[in-house]
Structure 1
Amino acid sequence: MTEFESKLETALLEHDNSEDASHDLFHARRVKLAALEISKRRNEGDHEVLIAAAYLHDLVNVPKNSPDRAKASTLSAQAAEPILRNLTVSDEQITSIQHAIEAHSFSAGIEPKTIEAQILQDADRLESVGAIGIARTFYIASSMNSGLFDGGDLFGENRDLNDKTYAVDHFALKLLQLHKTMCTKEGREVAKERTDYMIGFLKQLAAETGFDYPAGNERWS
């Protein structure tokens, strides 16, 4: 680990008062690694910007069920500035880091206008798919007191899907379609692989609970 990364980790830990394990230091480290991998495969992007943005993108963690959730990335970008001023990054890099942080959030709906912002958004969204995505989905559902799934209608074929009530509904309402929203070709490729893994999990869940998987339904495919 470089001195730059060590200082960012220290700043994150000093600032983090949340007990949300889905947005902890290890989440930030995974986002950093994914962002750097995409950057290397594309041979573009400022690595210092990506590293700093990855560590600080969830500096202000607003609960998913809060009406202020969409403000979290902007608040995080603002909170990051004094930390960045104490590091060896330029004003131009600080602006780029703050934009990447603001634009990473799905709920904020801010367009990523730089390659670093696009890469960070993809790297963060990769945390919502694959094995990590499955684990985080059920962890967050538990923290929100949501049920695991509807044991009488697993895939919502005779009811409206509601991911505030059932965790499994979140796959159809958001997660299985995330790969289509990736900004980079590299991000889309990894996301599609992880999406296929999630579909395999859902098919196994269907088999174990006595349901047929609705493969013909575009929400579940």
Structure 2
Amino acid sequence: MTPRHFTESLKQQGLDWLTTHQSDAAHDLDHILRVFTSARQLGQEEGADPDILLPAALLHDCVSIDKRDPRRSQASILSADAAVAWLAERHYPTELLEPIHHAIASHSWSAGLETQTLEARVLQDADRLDALGAIGTARCLMLGGQWQSALYHGDDPFARGRQYDDNRYCLDHFYVKLQHLAGQLKTDAGQREGDRRWRWMEGFIQQLQSELPE
């Protein structure tokens, strides 16, 4: 379905605005564009309204707060507020602003808000898919390096005899969070893609197990 209100011109204006709102390397403009592309693909399969979904996907991270910041749980709500304000300034249809706000506010893991619309579920799936597969693995390791985390626990890399600590070890994050994401996706299209990406990550972990001493 072709959007009636979310034009290419408006998309480019959004991209120009977002260049001044860069966050860490794993949540940069490239992340936003990947989520946008995934959301568009999933939305087409699921029958979502592109005039709600596409602006929400483009602007879902327009306010960035470090994941370790105590205000992190408010980031998606702040992004939703900023996004609808930006759209309203450009005379986007008023009746679309509330569902866009909801989709952005509820997409985040840390916000803990229930997704109540198809567009919100699609956006949440698209965002979580970016934490899976090859790109998800690269982002996890990139963030770990940025936060000066060790790649793995030197004596017990796969936590056979210790508690997971993904604040200190990148590999632990696979078990603490990433392995659960595929099962939490809410659309049929998202689940199919999530399963495919998690299988790739399982192969990566198996390869690590063959290379690392235990």
Q: Which of the five TM-score ranges fits, normalised by the shorter chain?
A: over 0.9
Where does residue 13 of structure 1 map in the other structure? 19
Query: Residue by residue, what CA displacement relative to the aligned partner does 1:103-141 show, whole Å, maximum 9, x if unpaired?
Result: 000011100101100000000000000001000101111
In 1, Cα distance between the equivalents of 2:137 and 2:101?
Answer: 29
Where does residue 209 of structure 1 map in the other structure? 212
Where does residue 126 of structure 2 map in the other structure? 123
2:53 maps to 1:50? yes
- Of stretches 156-165 and 138-147 in structure 1, the one that deviates more from structure 2 is 138-147
Which amino acid in the other structure matches residue 168 of structure 1? L
In 2, Cα distance between the equivalents of 1:86 and 1:67?
Answer: 30
In 2, Cα distance between the equivalents of 1:176 and 1:13?
Answer: 32
Displacement of 1:194 in angstroms is 0.4
C-alpha contact 1:179 1:192 (8 A) present in aligned 2: yes
Where does residue 61 of structure 1 map in the other structure? 64
- Alignment counterpart, residue 158 of structure 1, candidates 161, 175, 200: 161
C-alpha contact 1:147 1:165 (8 A) present in aligned 2: yes
Where does residue 215 of structure 1 map in the other structure? none
Cα RMSD (Å): 1.3
Displacement of 1:88 in angstroms is 4.8
C-alpha contact 2:25 2:143 (8 A) present in aligned 1: no
Query: Residue by residue, what CA displacement relative to the aligned partner does 1:8-60 show, whole Å, maximum 9, x if unpaired?
Result: 1112123x153x12111111111111011111112x11112211111111111
SS of the residue 1:174 aligns to: helix
Relative contact order, CA 8 A, sep 6+: which one is greater? 2
Displacement of 1:202 in angstroms is 0.7
Matches within 5 A, 1:134-145: 134-145=137-148
Structure 1 segments unaligned to the other structure (5+ residues): 212-221
